[in-house]
């Protein structure tokens, strides 16, 4: 399974190549609209990760591991919580409570404060994308260095 593409079917490959950008775009949409519509960082992150998983399924394990390298994933996995925590800590530094956006001077306006929650969602999205794809790779290739 780890050797080369699973399929040589041109049709599958082409359709996958066409599908991946809309999937990722939809994932980004779900993340960015998390605070006003159903969805959010986790859901959007899973959608983006599913595009990577689709790629790895069609083009093979090795190609998938090459696209999203282990090193990069290891960096992205803890990045989300750090973004989340940093935003919370900034609120504390401005003597508000944890995640009290209105304490930050630029975010005093309620509408602008909504963007801060988007930043948190982006952080969650990054982590979820990396972790879901890592789980897939860990399950897929026990012996290969994924």
DSSP 104: S
Helices within 41-109 (DSSP H only): 41-59, 61-67, 70-76, 79-93
Does 100 sit near another protein (CB under 8 A)? yes
Structure tokens at 126: 């990054």
Short-list 88, 98, 66, CA closest to 2: 66
Number of residues that bind another protein (CB under 8 A): 22
Residue of the chain from 28, 79, 90, 119 that contacts another protein (CB under 8 A): 79
- Measured from the CB of residue 68, what is the shortest distance to another protein in angstroms? 15
Residue window 46-75: x/- pattern of binding to another protein, with contact defined by CB under 8 A: -------------------------x--xx
Query: What contacts 98, CB < 8 A, 6 or more positions away?
Result: 88, 91, 92
**Contacting range for another protein; rule: CB under 8 A; set: 8-16, 20-28, 37-45, 82-90:** 82-90
DSSP-assigned letters across all residues of 16-33: HHHHHHHHHHHHHHHHHT
- Measured from the CB of residue 73, what is the shortest distance to another protein in angstroms? 11
What residue ranges bind another protein (CB under 8 A)? 71, 74-75, 77-79, 81-82, 85, 88-89, 92-93, 95-103
């Amino acid at each position: 399974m780890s050797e080369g593409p699973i399929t040589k079917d041109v049709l599958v490959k082409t359709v996958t190549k066409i599908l991946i950008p809309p999937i990722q775009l939809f994932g980004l949409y779900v993340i960015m609209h998390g605070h006003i519509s159903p969805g959010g960082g986790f859901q959007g992150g899973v959608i983006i990760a599913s595009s990577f998983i689709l790629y790895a399924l069609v083009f093979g394990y090795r190609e998938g591991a090459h696209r999203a390298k282990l090193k990069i994933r290891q960096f992205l996995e803890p990045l989300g919580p750090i973004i989340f925590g940093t935003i919370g800590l900034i609120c504390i530094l401005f003597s508000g409570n944890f995640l009290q956006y209105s304490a930050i001077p630029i975010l005093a306006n309620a509408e602008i404060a909504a963007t801060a929650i988007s930043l948190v969602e982006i952080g969650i999205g990054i982590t979820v994308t990396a972790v879901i794809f890592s789980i897939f790779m860990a399950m897929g290739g026990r012996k290969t260095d994924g």
